[in-house]
Every structure is written in structure tokens, then in C-alpha cells.
């Protein structure tokens, strides 16, 4: 697809998109997954904080449930652009991509349900794209044996796990590459890199972080609470405040009266 002259310059602007419009039915509880509390603060707030604390991200765009755009905007503050998400994740990312500033040359896509992602991982993904890779994903090796099974549950084969990786976010892309990928329609994929692969663009991997696991089911939430309790509060990741979010007491009351002082 050719090089991007914007990326050759120092100080390339990086945007982070957070699709957060999903219901998260596997986690249960009746509340949209991104707004489920973790250590007294919504997971979405914690995920956005990791992006804020990174050194590379200059813009954050969040795709929220359409009926909760104002609530989410109050939770996150004026420095985050909040838009109405779509029916599916791909729709939300596509809408958020169109809301990114025109001078952005690198776009990261980050799951709202990865609230403990280290800011250093965010910067590592962005740096790899700026260094010239059109698409970059953080990955971890697998500890479990993986089986491929048929619809009846019978094992077809056991693929060697040496060549398999678990994929995390944020996933990073040259903006033109991601835009071209999202111009595709009806491509069955489970992540953004899958769409880029469908273009024939090479995707590069970098080491992920164990803390960046996805909170999908109730046991994941228990693990996240346990890990959060061991994090230092001084970096703002545990119970510290963040003045950038402003006064969000009204939004908090709309979501069950969680302590407003801990949602900043």
C-alpha cells in the first residue's frame, strides 16, 4: 500500500479508539460491560486512564452505547471524544475512526474490557507503528494445549502451540491501513488485525503484558480485583483521582450511586 510520509516525521499524532458499546452478556449483571465497576470505578474509566498515562496518545475517541453517550462523556471528561457506537464492534470502530482528527497518522484500537493494561504497552505498540510497521499487535504465548474440535466436540487435531499466540490490545495501525480495512464489508473476523490481514497487509507482533487480559466472565473480574489491590495507588491506577474528568456525580448517580470521588 506504499509508505506514509506522515510517519517518517517525529511527533506523529496517535489516536486511541475504544469501542465500548457492547452489552457484555457473558459478564452478567445487567450493566454494559464497560461500565461495570472494578475497584469502585468503571472498567472503561480505568482503560481510558491507561491511554491517558501513555506518552504517545494525543486523542481518545470512545464509542459508547447510544443511550448513554452523555453519561459516558461525564464519566470520562472533556478531553475524551464520546460518540454513539453501533450495533456491532466493527460498526463502533468504523464510526470512531471517522471521528478521529484529520492530522492523526497512527490509530490504536483498545478493548474497554482490558482495564489493567500498562501504559508502557500502549507506547510500545504506537512506537512500533511509528517505526514503520503498518500493523502491530501485542501477543502472549500459550500455556495450555489447544485442540481443534468438530461441531460434535470430537478432536480433529492438536496444533503445535509453539506457533500460536493469544492476541491482546491495543492493536496499532497506520491510519490509511486501518481505514482501508474498515472499508471492507462482511469479512468474518474477531479483531481489527483480522481485517487488516484480509487486505494482505503484514501484521507484526510485539510482546504483550499479562496484566492486559480481557475481563469477559465473572472469574476474570475477581482476578482483576485481586491484581488491582496490589497495584500502587500513586500512579492513579487504583483509587487515585484524575482531575481531567471533572465533576461526574450526575453520571455516577445514573449508574447506581458509585462514590463520585473515586471515578475521576
pLDDT attached to residue 2: 38
Each residue of 186-219: b (16+ CB within 10 Å) or e? eeeeebbbebbbebebebbbeebbebbbbbeeee
For 262, counting Cβ atoms within 10 Å of its Cβ (0-12 exposed, 13-18 middle, 19+ buried), the class is middle
pLDDT attached to residue 253: 37
The Cα–Cα gap between 174 and 190 comes to: 19
Model confidence, pTM: 0.83
Quick one: what percent of the chain has pLDDT higher than 90?
71
pLDDT attached to residue 240: 39
The Cα–Cα gap between 1 and 176 comes to: 9
Give φ, ψ of 57 to 5 degrees.
Answer: -75, 130
pLDDT attached to residue 189: 86
pLDDT attached to residue 241: 39
pLDDT, tens digit (0-9, with 9 covering 90-100), for 81-129: 999 999 999 999 999 999 999 999 999 999 999 999 999 999 999 999 9
Could you confirm whether domain 11-135+169-262 is CATH 3.65.10.10? Answer: no
Residue 192 DSSP one-character state: H
> Which of 116, 106, 81 is CA-nearest to residue 95?
81
For 72, the grid coordinates are: 459516558
Spell out the domain ranges in the chain: 11-135+169-262
Tens digit of each residue's pLDDT, the chain (264 residues):
334 434 544 568 999 999 999 775 555 556 688 889 999 999 999 999 999 999 999 999 999 999 999 999 999 999 999 999 999 999 999 999 999 999 999 999 999 999 999 999 999 999 999 999 999 999 999 999 999 999 999 999 999 999 999 999 999 999 999 999 999 988 888 899 999 999 999 999 999 999 999 998 889 999 999 999 887 764 444 443 333 333 343 343 344 333 322 222
> Which of 207, 133, 139 is CA-nearest to residue 177?
133
The Cα–Cα gap between 131 and 174 comes to: 11
Residue 34 DSSP one-character state: G
For 241, counting Cβ atoms within 10 Å of its Cβ (0-12 exposed, 13-18 middle, 19+ buried), the class is exposed
Determine contact, residues 212/167, Cβ cutoff 8 Å. no
Distance between the two ends of the chain, CA-based, in angstroms? 42
CB 178: neighbour CB atoms within 10 A? Answer: 29
Determine contact, residues 53/63, Cβ cutoff 8 Å. no
Amino acid at each position: 500500500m506504499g509508505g506514509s510520509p506522515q510517519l517518517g516525521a517525529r511527533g506523529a499524532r496517535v489516536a486511541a479508539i475504544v469501542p465500548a458499546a457492547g452489552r457484555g452478556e457473558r459478564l452478567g449483571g445487567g450493566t454494559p460491560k464497560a461500565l461495570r465497576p472494578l475497584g469502585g470505578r468503571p472498567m472503561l474509566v480505568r482503560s481510558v486512564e491507561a491511554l491517558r498515562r501513555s506518552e504517545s496518545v494525543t486523542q481518545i475517541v470512545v464509542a459508547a452505547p447510544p443511550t448513554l453517550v452523555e453519561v459516558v462523556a461525564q464519566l470520562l471528561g472533556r478531553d475524551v471524544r464520546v460518540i454513539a457506537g453501533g450495533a456491532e464492534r466493527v460498526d463502533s470502530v468504523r464510526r470512531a475512526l471517522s471521528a478521529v482528527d484529520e492530522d492523526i497518522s497512527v490509530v490504536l484500537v483498545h478493548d474497554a474490557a482490558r482495564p489493567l493494561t500498562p501504559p508502557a504497552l500502549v507506547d510500545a505498540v504506537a512506537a512500533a507503528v511509528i517505526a514503520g510497521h503498518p500493523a502491530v499487535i501485542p501477543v502472549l504465548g500459550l500455556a495450555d494445549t489447544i485442540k481443534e474440535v468438530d461441531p460434535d466436540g470430537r478432536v480433529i487435531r492438536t496444533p503445535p502451540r509453539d506457533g500460536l499466540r493469544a492476541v491482546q490490545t491495543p492493536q496499532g495501525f497506520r491510519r490509511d491501513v486501518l481505514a482501508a480495512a474498515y472499508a471492507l464489508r462482511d469479512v468474518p473476523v474477531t479483531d481489527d488485525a483480522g481485517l487488516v490481514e484480509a487486505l494482505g497487509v503484514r501484521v507484526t507482533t510485539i510482546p504483550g503484558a499479562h496484566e492486559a487480559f480481557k475481563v469477559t466472565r465473572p472469574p476474570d473480574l475477581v482476578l482483576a480485583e485481586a491484581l488491582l489491590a496490589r497495584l500502587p495507588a500513586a500512579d492513579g491506577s487504583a483509587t487515585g483521582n484524575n482531575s481531567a474528568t471533572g465533576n461526574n456525580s450526575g453520571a455516577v448517580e445514573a449508574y447506581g450511586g458509585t462514590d463520585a470521588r473515586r471515578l475521576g
